[in-house]
């Protein structure tokens, strides 16, 4: 975006151009937010706020440029930089123009003060201006140094400030216009606006006038515009209001000595987050950084005894079955670790002593024969807080499956394999095979070529007894809960336990014998949104001897 062009467009637009002085990036952003047309990178404000120094050319051109750049980076409106006297003679002005233009600053103002200058309002200092010829040279040099045609050079005369009179002020203004200035700034320290109004009345050049109503502060921008001014700069009101509000808050804090005492003076933390773009940062992180599960607690259930796998699991639970030199549990941990999930708990039950993998946290379900998956997960209830990954102990899965789940921002996300849908329609899944199936709000498309959507699908029903014709996919035994959902999960489970009449719970004969899916159906029924993260293959369950053989054959 060419900000100089933007500024030129503003100069040609009807009505006054309202510009306000900033002293850093945040003040510039606030000026834009308030609806002003442009930013004045104020020499007075920058030297006060950035160095706590007088406005007297103590800061170098590069120091000032750096601050103006900071402002320009965070706003879309044009920045006009106050470049004092151009930091020297015509040669210095040339470099100043070139550098500011290159940095994308829309325009600069240079004044006819000598170098070093003093702020126009400091009392008790002798005011000296450079000769008209010297100033004409600065303007011509500046215009010759710009690369494009849009950069705006404002020439400012301090003739009225220095007491050189209206005639000299007009003579200088006209000469500046003839030397190539794009606008003229007439400055005044008179309490009444009469001087600048008189100047504007006599103005007979074809370039716009700029005014800074600091001392003559009772005239409005509209009145100044009517008098002939195009650009009105409120140069230092913002830095002065900052000093006042900082002082007031600090005085009260020092006196009362507790943070909450000054809340009335403060914006919320959220307002600061919004201002600096924390939401945008999160979005970029989600889009571009590799997903990380370092804030996730994983709970793996490995408690059950499954008779049909005997004698394979005679001396160990299913998760400790070896597949080419690594157990299922070790393979799961490998993938979890690869996604930065290091906080892993395992719920043991059957042949508990056979699970002795280091660096894991262990919980026991001694009642594993009389209970089921949901009870087992709750044996690790101290871990059900923050972001939690619930994982069945008998699945092998590709890293991308877990990565996709970690990317989900839903409160409750379940990994759903859509390959089941196709396999079922092709008659490839024998009747009677127990599968935890899901029905979703937006079913997958029944077409040969199908791109799983980036959108998560809301789950309506989940369980083994779902009518297969209405099921859309299979829950693979991997679910992730947000901190809020983890809390809800615990609360609901405690409530159910307390109110448990002992009868069936969804598909289970009792709450104690419930699967995770029964609890999820309960949350769905209670109106809690549960989303399916869809995948297409990329995982495997070890449920039967045949599964185990297949896992051997396919694993690396
Ligand atoms: C500045 O903001 O630095 C100015 C305007 O030059 S004034 O301080 O009003 O002179
Ligand atoms: Mg200044």
What is the CB-side half-sphere exposure of residue 279 using CA atoms within 13 A? 5
- Alpha carbons 295 and 286: distance in angstroms, whole number: 14
Q: Are residues 148 and 176 in the same domain?
A: yes
Q: What pLDDT is attached to residue 546?
A: 86
Q: Are strands 457-463 and 539-541 parallel, antiparallel or unpaired?
A: unpaired
279 is catalytic: no
Question: Do 199 and 254 fall into the same domain?
Answer: no
Beta bridge partners of 388: 297, 481
Is there a single domain that holds both residue 402 and residue 455? Answer: yes
Q: Are residues 206 and 61 in the same domain?
A: yes
Q: Best of 236, 237, 239 to mutate for ligand 1, by most ligand atoms within 8 A of CB?
A: 236
In a domain, 141, yes or no: yes
Do 399 and 491 fall into the same domain?
yes
Structural contact between residues 529 and 456, judged by C-beta atoms closer than 8 angstroms = no
Strands 209-211 vs 231-234: parallel, antiparallel or unpaired: parallel
Cα(232) to centroid(ligand 2), Å: 14
Which position has the token pair 């051997």?
552
Considering the domain architecture, whether residues 341 and 261 belong to the same structural domain is answered as no
| Residues whose CB falls within 8 Å of the CB of residue 515, separated by 6 or more in sequence, listed in order | 372, 373, 374, 436, 464, 507, 508
Tokens of 180: 């190539």
CA-nearest residue, atom 7 of ligand 1: 235
DSSP, residue by residue, 89-105: SHHHHHHHHHHHHHTT-
Is 312 domain-assigned?
Answer: yes
Count of the separate structural domains present in the chain: 3
Residue labelled with tokens 């002798």: 126
Report the DSSP beta bridge partners of residue 370. Answer: none
Helices (H), 326-398: 328-338, 373-379
The DSSP code for 290 is P
Extract the tokens encoding 429.
């899944």
Do 265 and 309 share a domain, yes or no? Answer: no
Ligand 1 contacts CB of residue 21 (under 6 A): yes
Of all protein residues, the one whose alpha carbon is nearest to atom 5 of ligand 1 is 235
CATH number at residue 128: 3.20.20.60
Calculate how far, in angstroms, residue 400's C-alpha sits from the geometric centre of ligand 2: 58
Looking from the CA of residue 235, the nearest atom of ligand 1 is 2
In angstroms, rounded to a whole number, what is the distance separating the alpha carbons of residues 29 and 192? 31
- CB of 80 closer than 6 angstroms to any ligand 1 atom: no
The verdict on residue 132 lying in a domain is: yes
Residue pair 436/515 in contact (Cβ under 8 Å)? The answer is yes
Residue 149 is assigned to a structural domain of this protein? yes
284 in a structural domain: no
CA dist., res. 186 & res. 157, Å (int)? 6
Same domain, 268 and 336: no
Do 236 and 252 fall into the same domain? no
Q: Pick the catalytic residue from 9, 24, 37, 55.
A: 55
**Ligand minimally distant from the alpha carbon of residue 84:** 2
269: number of Cβ within 10 Å: 9
Phi then psi for 381, rounded to 5 degrees?
A: -55, -30
Give pLDDT, residue 468: 85
- Residue at 266 is within a domain: yes
Residue 283 lies in a domain: no
Are 331 and 339 contacting, i.e. CB atoms less than 8 angstroms apart? no
Ligand 1 pocket check for 55: Cβ under 6 Å = yes
CATH number for the domain spanning 431: value is 3.90.550.10
Q: Are residues 423 and 490 in the same domain?
A: yes
C-alpha torsion sign, points 4, 10, 11, 13: positive
Q: How far is the CA of 47 from the centre of ligand 2 (A)?
A: 9
pLDDT of residue 451: 64
Q: How far apart are CA 118 and CA 132, in angstroms?
A: 19
Residues 384 and 297 in one domain: yes
Is residue 43 within 6 Å of ligand 1 at its C-beta?
yes
- CA 251 to centroid of ligand 2, rounded, Å: 30
346: β partners:
300, 362
Ligand 1 in reach of 113 Cβ (< 6 A): no
* Amino acid 463: pLDDT: 96
The domain in which residue 120 lies consists of 3-243
Please report, in angstroms and rounded to a whole number, the separation of the first and last CA atoms in the chain.
Answer: 53
Give the whole-angstrom CA distance, residue 538 versus residue 554: 11
The pLDDT, as a whole number, for residue 312 is 83
The DSSP 8-state label assigned to residue 214 in this structure reads: S
Residue 236 CB–ligand 1 contact under 6 Å: yes
Round to whole Å and give the CA distance between 461 and 481: 18
Atom of ligand 1 lying closest to residue 42 CA: 2
Shared domain for 42 and 180, answered yes or no, is yes
Assigned token pair, 397: 């899965």
Query: What dihedral do alpha carbons 429, 434, 440, 442 form, nearest 10°?
Result: -10
pTM over 0.75: no
Question: Would residue 507 count as lying in a domain?
Answer: yes
Distance from the CA of 22 to the center of ligand 1, in angstroms?
A: 11
Quote the tokens at residue 479. 């679910």
Query: Under DSSP, is residue 54 helix (H, G, I), strand (E, B) or coil?
Result: coil
Q: Which residues contact 52 (CB under 8 A, 6 or more apart)?
A: none
Q: What is the pLDDT along the chain (556 residues), one digit of tens a residue?
A: 899 999 999 999 999 999 999 999 999 999 999 999 999 999 999 999 999 999 999 999 999 999 999 999 999 999 999 999 999 999 999 999 999 999 999 999 999 999 999 998 999 998 999 999 999 999 999 999 999 999 999 999 999 999 999 999 999 999 999 999 999 999 999 999 999 999 999 999 999 999 999 999 999 999 999 999 999 999 999 999 999 999 999 999 999 999 999 999 999 999 999 999 999 998 898 788 878 888 999 999 999 998 888 888 899 999 999 999 999 999 999 999 999 999 999 999 999 999 999 999 999 999 999 999 999 999 999 999 999 999 999 999 999 999 999 989 899 999 999 888 888 888 887 777 788 999 998 776 656 666 666 565 899 999 999 988 888 999 999 999 999 999 999 999 999 999 988 899 999 999 999 999 999 999 999 999 999 998 989 999 988 888 888 888 887 8
């Amino acid at each position: 975006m060419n900000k100089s062009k933007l500024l030129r467009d503003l100069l040609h637009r009807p009505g006054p151009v309202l510009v306000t002085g900033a002293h850093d990036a945040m003040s510039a952003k606030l000026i834009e937010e308030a609806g002003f047309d442009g930013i004045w990178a104020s020499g007075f404000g920058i030297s006060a706020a950035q160095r706590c120094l007088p406005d007297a050319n103590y800061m170098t051109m590069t120091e000032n440029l750096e601050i103006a750049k900071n402002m320009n980076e965070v706003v879309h409106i044009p920045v006009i930089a106050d470049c004092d006297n151009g930091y020297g003679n015509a040669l210095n002005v040339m470099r100043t123009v070139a550098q500011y233009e290159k940095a994308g600053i829309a325009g600069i103002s240079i004044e006819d003060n000598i170098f070093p200058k003093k702020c126009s309002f400091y009392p008790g200092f002798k005011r000296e201006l450079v000769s008209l010829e010297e100033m004409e040279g600065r303007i011509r040099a500046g215009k010759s140094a710009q690369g494009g045609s849009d950069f705006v050079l404002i020439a400012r005369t301090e003739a009225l400030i220095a007491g050189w009179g209206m005639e000299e002020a007009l003579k200088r203004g006209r000469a500046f216009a003839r030397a190539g200035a794009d606008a003229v700034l007439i400055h005044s320290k008179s309490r009444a606006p009469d001087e600048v109004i008189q100047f504007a009345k006599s103005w007979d050049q074809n370039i716009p006038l700029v005014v800074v109503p600091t001392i003559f502060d009772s005239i409005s921008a509209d009145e100044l515009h009517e008098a002939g001014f195009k650009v009105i700069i409120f140069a230092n009101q913002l830095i002065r209001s900052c000093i006042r509000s900082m002082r007031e808050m600090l005085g009260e804090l020092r006196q009362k000595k507790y943070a909450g005492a000054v809340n009335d003076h403060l914006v919320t933390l959220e307002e600061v987050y919004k201002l600096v773009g924390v939401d945008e940062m999160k979005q970029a992180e989600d889009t571009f950084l590799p997903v990380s599960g370092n804030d996730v607690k994983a709970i793996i259930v490995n408690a059950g005894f499954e008779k049909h796998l005997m004698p394979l699991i005679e001396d160990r639970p299913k998760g400790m079955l070896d597949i080419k030199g690594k157990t299922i549990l070790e393979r799961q941990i490998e993938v979890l670790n690869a996604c930065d999930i290091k906080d892993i708990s395992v719920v043991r039950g059957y042949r508990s002593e056979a699970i002795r993998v280091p660096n894991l946290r262990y919980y026991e379900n001694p009642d594993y024969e009389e209970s089921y998956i949901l009870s087992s997960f709750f044996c690790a209830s101290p871990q059900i807080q923050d972001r939690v990954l619930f994982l069945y102990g008998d699945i092998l899965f590709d890293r991308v499956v877990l990565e996709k789940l970690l990317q989900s921002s839903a409160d409750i996300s379940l990994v759903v394999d859509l390959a089941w849908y196709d396999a079922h329609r092709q008659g490839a899944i024998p009747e009677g095979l127990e599968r935890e199936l899901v029905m979703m709000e937006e079913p997958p498309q029944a077409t040969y070529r199908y791109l799983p959507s980036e959108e998560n699908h809301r789950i309506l029903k989940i369980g083994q007894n779902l009518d297969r014709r209405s099921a859309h996919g299979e829950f693979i035994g991997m679910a992730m809960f947000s901190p809020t959902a983890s809390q809800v999960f615990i609360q609901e489970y405690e409530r159910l336990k307390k109110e448990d009449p002992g009868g069936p719970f969804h598909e289970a004969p009792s709450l104690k014998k419930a699967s995770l899916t029964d609890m999820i159906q309960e949350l769905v029924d209670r109106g809690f949104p549960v989303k399916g993260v869809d995948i297409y293959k990329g995982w495997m369950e070890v449920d039967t001897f045949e599964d185990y053989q297949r896992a051997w054959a396919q694993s690396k």
